[in-house]
Amino acid sequence: MTRPLTVMLVAAEASGDDRGAGLARALKARLGEGVRFVGVGGERMAAEGVQSPFDIAEISILGLWEGLMAYPRIVRRADETAAIAAREKPDVAVLIDSWGFTLRVAQRLRRLDPKLPLIKYVGPQVWASRPGRAKTLAGAVDHLLSIHAFDAPWFEAEGLPVTFVGNSALTLDFSGASPERLRAEIGAAPGDPILLVLPGSRRGEIEHVLPAFEDAVRRLKADRSELQVVIVAAPTVAETLKARVAGWSHRAHLVEGEAGKLDAMKAATVALACSGTVTTELALAGAPMVVGYRLAPIGAFVLRRLLRTRYITLFNIAAQDFVAPELIQEACTGENLAREAALRLDDPELRARQVAAQYAALDKMGRGGPDPSEAAADAVLKIVSAGRA
């Protein structure tokens, strides 16, 4: 019997877990029983057959200081990931996002088997900060699958082949989402405003971002008794969020799972969102938002000296404008977040203008293009075929 193609997928964060699951589904659609998966991932990748030896929440790190503190654990988990490759002998390895962790995995895989094709799926944002990472990545992997059309020149200049596959967040399907179902589940009246809170998927984000979001919610609830508060909990931080929300003095509804998240995004009147992939998803859902983000002080100090762009939200970068307000670091306070959210809760015309501007920015990012998971699967198979030839 012919040995199935063995694909190693490695992801360390919720967004990477989602991309890895999409890629696995697309490869299975092409190869059926002719492909098997090994590697590291979260719940979504596990559902597609990737059995991770550890919880990726352990290596989902935010900020310089947290990274330094977690370094021994990251090295240990990178060693364990390389051991999977030594045991399973994959035909190709796809390393998804998570710069620090996947770079260390790539270095170990290269030493283990110099002929193993190494593919990076999502490159570091060198156009925003630390352009030297393009050269580092070119020396570590064989190919980059990029999610931004403007990535290629940065990496190709260093000799790294790039295939643009698009951003999977832009293809999120809301056709089955039901705002009415969400309202029924939380007992909200048709006219009740809904504040959606998305505090991030990393432990560090819960530590640094959530307190400001909590303060903003308290302020907004104090003035709006009819306001319904819904919190989306990523699998990596669900238990932590449940414990925090249980101690709130006001009622909030915690939502888990993909279907619940999509319902909540479509139902949202306004969202408070931690910067990340979720902002693109919210924009697709037509939800006006206020973006907040905080790092530990030392991480913020370093990043400010490296950042080359005014914006951190992708659709703001595409628009070259603050389509959604960004409250970063010292500006990310409960008072500021509540003020911006209140403006949108109280002004339907402002909400409509922001949603229209978000849609226009998404079009610039490639909304409506081919399915990135399908494009990524085609690229992986092409690279494997070329290597065998």
CATH number where 342 lies: 3.40.50.2000
What token pair was written down for 332? 């990310």
Query: What per-residue string of b and e applies to 30-43 under the rule 16 or more CB within 10 Å gives b?
Result: eeeeebbbbbbbbb
Share of the chain above pLDDT 70, in %: 92
Contacts of residue 29, defined as CB under 8 A and 6 or more positions apart, other chains included, come to: 377
Do 18 and 162 fall into the same domain? yes
CA distance 270 to 327: 15
- Amino acid type, 47: A
Contacts of residue 188, defined as CB under 8 A and 6 or more positions apart, other chains included, come to: 182, 194, 228
pLDDT, tens digit (0-9, with 9 covering 90-100), for 70-119: 678 888 999 999 999 999 999 999 999 888 899 999 999 999 999 999 99
Judge if pTM exceeds 0.85.
Answer: no
Do 102 and 68 fall into the same domain? yes
Domain annotation covers residue 252: yes
3-state SS of 248-312 is CCCCCEEECCHHHHHHHHHHCCEEEEECCHHHHHHHHHCCCEEEEECCCHHHHHHHHHHECCCCC
H or E element at residue 96: strand 92-96
Do 222 and 325 fall into the same domain? yes
What's the rounded mean pLDDT across residues 347-362?
97
Going by pLDDT thresholds of 50, 70 and 90, the confidence category of residue 214 is very high
pLDDT, tens digit (0-9, with 9 covering 90-100), for 228-277: 999 999 888 889 889 888 888 888 999 999 999 999 999 999 999 998 88
Do 83 and 228 fall into the same domain? no
What is the structure's pLDDT at 301? 44
Other Cβ atoms within 10 Å of 301 Cβ, number:
12
Residues in the chain: 389
Domain annotation covers residue 172: no
Domain annotation covers residue 171: no
Q: Is 382 or 388 the better-scoring residue by pLDDT?
A: 382
What token pair was written down for 299? 């991480």
Evaluate if residue 331 carries a pLDDT over 50: yes
Range of the domain at 212: 179-365
Total number of domains constituting the chain: 2
Instruction: State the chain's mean pLDDT as an integer.
Output: 90
Do 315 and 382 fall into the same domain? no
From the list 371, 369, 207, 351, the residue with the least C-alpha distance to 282 is 351
Do 111 and 40 fall into the same domain? yes
Yes or no: say if 7 and 35 are a contact pair by the CB < 8 Å rule: yes
Domain annotation covers residue 174: no
Do 144 and 93 fall into the same domain? yes
Going by pLDDT thresholds of 50, 70 and 90, the confidence category of residue 299 is low
Do 199 and 103 fall into the same domain? no
Domain annotation covers residue 85: yes
Do 253 and 266 fall into the same domain? yes
Do 21 and 111 fall into the same domain? yes
Do 202 and 329 fall into the same domain? yes
Domain annotation covers residue 63: yes
What is the structure's pLDDT at 73? 82
Evaluate if residue 208 carries a pLDDT over 80: yes
What token pair was written down for 182? 């969400």
What is the structure's pLDDT at 201? 84
**From residue 41, how far is each of 12, 37, 94, 124, 294 by CA, in Å?**
6, 11, 12, 19, 26
The residues with which 163 forms a beta bridge, in sequence order, are 145
Do 153 and 200 fall into the same domain? no
Instruction: Give strand ranges (E) for 97-203.
Output: 118-121, 143-146, 162-164, 194-198
